[in-house]
A = this chain, B = another copy of it.
């Protein structure tokens, strides 16, 4: 069992509807020391990739992405969920459906920050049905850039997102893959060797 799985067992809470609450350390309150360990581990797992940029999506991906970026010494771009008046028209757009918020969003990245030479590591806190991730991949492709890796903190292995992405041949690393959860007992089962 790795450091993140141990932390999930210690502080994660299983709720009805396959909700895993990790808001005490991952996506509301954020344990920056833990993020540093996550960064170190991704650096090890993606050691062979020539990554020059990290892409994530607001909001909860940003903290992890920034700390991970220190280990790669590269800038972070975060995809924005709605059109801000401060973003100009020249943007890459993808449609993203959120499981958590039950809504569709357009996510955008300004064209000037992604170009065909970029080797992009996509970082996010959660992977479930994979809609956010598909949107980010789509944006990287629109730029003609390369998805050199995808680093996820927690994958819900009982939802299809991760399998689809692996089937497509992407180098996806999830630090903890939850294969099942039971809110009546609080039990969480992880996939081995995640």
Binding site for B on A (CB under 8 A): 19, 21, 23-25, 28-33, 35-36, 58-59, 62-63, 65-67, 69-70, 73-78, 80-82, 84-87, 100-102, 109-110, 112-113
| B-chain residues with CB within 8 Å of residue A65 when the two chains form the complex | 63
Say how far A35's CB is from chain B's closest CB, in angstroms: 7
Bound-state CA distance A85–B102 (Å) is 9
The 8 Å CB contact of A30, one of B21, B77, B81, is B77
Across the interface, do A19 and B86 meet the contact criterion of CB distance under 8 Å? yes
The 8 Å CB contact of A66, one of B28, B32, B80, B113, is B32
Bound-state CA distance A24–B87 (Å) is 11
Report the copy number of this chain in the oligomer: 2
Bound-state CA distance A23–B74 (Å) is 16
Bound-state CA distance A36–B102 (Å) is 36
Across the interface, do A110 and B78 meet the contact criterion of CB distance under 8 Å? no
| B-chain residues with CB within 8 Å of residue A74 when the two chains form the complex | 32
| B-chain residues with CB within 8 Å of residue A78 when the two chains form the complex | 28, 30, 59, 63
Across the interface, do B35 and A63 meet the contact criterion of CB distance under 8 Å? no
The 8 Å CB contact of A59, one of B19, B62, B87, B100, is B62
| B-chain residues with CB within 8 Å of residue A25 when the two chains form the complex | 75
- Known A-B contacts A62-B59, A66-B30, A85-B100; A112 and B80 likewise in contact (beta carbons under 8 Å): no
Contacts A23-B110, A63-B76, A85-B101 known; 20 new A-B pairs at CB < 8 A: A19-B86, A21-B86, A23-B86, A24-B112, A28-B78, A28-B87, A28-B109, A29-B76, A29-B113, A32-B74, A33-B73, A59-B59, A59-B78, A62-B63, A63-B63, A63-B66, A63-B78, A82-B101, A84-B101, A86-B100
